[in-house]
Amino acid sequence: MSNVAVDVLLAIGVAAELLCCIGVVVMRTTADRLHYVSAGYTVGPFFVLAALLVREQLSQIGLDALAAIFLLFLFGPVVIHATARVVRLREEHK
């Protein structure tokens, strides 16, 4: 039962990341692409973390994965905001 849950969560995480990649390629403007990048920083990693925690519980490996995903959650919005700010500055000065 636990293995099935891990497989399903991992598959959802990979599918989410794949969708984000497709969105980044297909969208027209940089701002639209950044929305998909933002989703790639949150949705996919959440499911991968859930899969890891189901498999490892709160062991050393689970806590390390938790730290990595926490940093991803923390730093993701910062870099996306920084990029969006530069995009807006460039559009204003066109």
Partner 1 sequence: MALRESELDGVAALELGGAIATLVLLCLGEAFHRSAYFDVPVVCVVLTWIGVLVFTRFFAKDVP
Interface with partner 1, residue 11, by CB under 8 A? no
State whether residue 1 is helix, strand or coil.
coil
One of 8, 12, 17, 19 touching partner 1 (CB under 8 A): 17
Q: How many other C-beta atoms lie within 10 A of the C-beta of residue 46? A: 17
Nearest residue (CB) to partner 1, 1 versus 30? 30
d(CA 71, CA 31): 23
12 binds partner 1 (CB under 8 A): no
**CB of residue 3 vs partner 1: minimum separation in angstroms?**
13
Exposure string (b/e) for 52-81, b if CB count within 10 Å is 16 or more? bbbbbeeeeebeebeeebeebeeebeeebe
Residues that bind partner 1 (CB under 8 A): 10, 13, 17, 20-21, 24-25, 30, 33-34, 36-37, 40-41, 44-45, 48, 52, 55-56, 60-61, 64-65, 67-69, 71-72, 75-76, 78-80, 82-83, 85-87, 89-90, 93
